Amino acid sequence: MEKRTIFKYISVTICVLIVIAVIVVVVVYTRKVYPERSKLLIDNDAGGDDAMAIFLALLYEKYFDGPQLIALTTGNGNTNEDNVSRNNQRILKVAQRQDVPIYRGSKSSIVFTPESTNYFGKDGLGDVDEVITDLVPPQQQNAVDALISLSKKYEGELTVVTIGALTNVALAIKVDPGFLNRLAHLYIGAGHINGDNHPEPEFNAHVDVEAYHIVMQSATPDKVSVFPFSQTYAFLNFTKEWRLDVLGAIDTDIMRAQNQYERIAIPQEDGWAALDPSVVAAVINPNLVEEYKYSKYDIILCGDKRGINTNEFVEQDKANVRIVYKVNSEEYKQFLLDVFSAELKTKSGS
């Protein structure tokens, strides 16, 4: 081989190596300066409180560089799953985020399915009879398979938030025992920790008691956190006037829709304590949480106390879950106002 040819070969090789080195440096630097967003999946039963939670996640992603919502999974709860699926479509249409895929899940509980309370209306979203066209249909893949496949695709990155019954997650654990370990974390919005003040089962836990027990039996505190409704009621219980006249007065399409979705539920209560948005808020903005506790936590399966949670605060090495115990009330209120009004501030340039 001539010297000129050898020199040319060496020069080309050096250039290729330099280009590869530059690409590697750029990729590493970019990941450090602009880290990829964490991935979020919300498993829901699409009542009015679920709608607020989903809107909150989408707005925080858009305006505050929050976690990327990669999917919604549906299940029976506030209303039947057929309505839940359509409600997810409606919510995404209002939010102008129909790129988010919907995976349909369980239509009933594992053993016993309680009747719906119609707390948010028969359709789950206020029975407003709105006509919405051009809805994007759900995916063909079912929710359980989607949970498992997405946990593999985004291993170590995916946070799953359940704000309904735990049926889909329990089935995913049974089908694939490695499911929980692949998640970054599982947050559960369901249950109570104070039986004296809350002698009745919490709704989300009661919808599928066996599913709740399955998840608790597989839980470890490094992977599973529970946000009980008792803690929303204790720390994030606001007046209806604040909900309607302050938060509800934000002049956006999303908030106007949200007000309609809760129009049946709000008059039924003395105040406003919504579990689902408080759970999502604690996930996407952990600084709102003032205190966690570790617990040996489960649920009673039989007898007249079926659906009541059992709770014993313990050291971390003896616990199966971490409890979101206390959230800063005033910071949470301001967080809701900031996120739901972000669109207006962006339009005004402030």
- Residues 231-246: tens digit of each pLDDT: 999 999 999 999 999 9
**Which helix (H) or strand (E) element contains residue 30?**
helix 3-33
Tokens of 276: 């689902």
What CATH number is attached to the domain comprising 321? Answer: 3.90.245.10
- For residue 216, what are its two tokens? 């608790």
Tokens 């039963």 belong to 45
* 8 part of a folded domain: no
Asked whether residue 187 carries a pLDDT value surpassing 50, the answer given is yes
CA dihedral of residues 217, 222, 224, 225 (deg, nearest 10): 130
Per-residue confidence band for 227, with pLDDT thresholds at 50, 70 and 90 = very high
Mean pLDDT across 269-298: 98
Reported as a single tens digit per residue, the pLDDT across 175-184 is 999 999 999 9
User: What are the residues facing 321 on neighbouring strands?
Assistant: 295
In a domain, 223, yes or no: yes
CA atoms within 13 A on the CB side of 31: 6
- Global confidence as pTM: 0.89
Q: pLDDT at position 349, please?
A: 72
| pLDDT given for residue 10 in this prediction | 62
How far apart are alpha carbons 208 and 76 in whole angstroms? 9
- The answer to whether position 20 is within a domain reads no
Over the chain, what is the mean pLDDT? Answer: 92
Domain interval for residue 155: 36-348
- For residue 32, what pLDDT is reported? 39
Which of these, 209, 229, 187, lies nearest to 305 by C-alpha position? 209
Query: What pLDDT does 4 receive?
Result: 57
> Over the stretch 319-343, which tens digit does the pLDDT of each residue have?
999 999 999 999 999 999 999 999 9
User: Looking at the domain assignment, is residue 25 inside a domain?
Assistant: no
Q: Count of domains in the chain?
A: 1
pLDDT score for 185: 98
Q: Is 259 a member of any domain?
A: yes
CA distance 37 to 43: 19
Is 16 part of a structural domain of the chain? no
Over 50: is that where the pLDDT of 124 sits?
Answer: yes
With CA atoms as reference, report the closest residue to 56 among 91, 25, 21, 83. 91
Q: Distance between terminal CA atoms of the chain?
A: 68
Arithmetic mean of pLDDT, 238-265: 98
pLDDT tens column, 203-214: 999 999 999 999
Span 98-103, mean pLDDT? 98
Q: Indicate whether 10 belongs to any domain.
A: no
16-58 confidence digits (pLDDT tens): 455 454 444 433 443 433 346 899 999 999 999 999 999 999 9
The predicted pLDDT at position 149 comes to 98
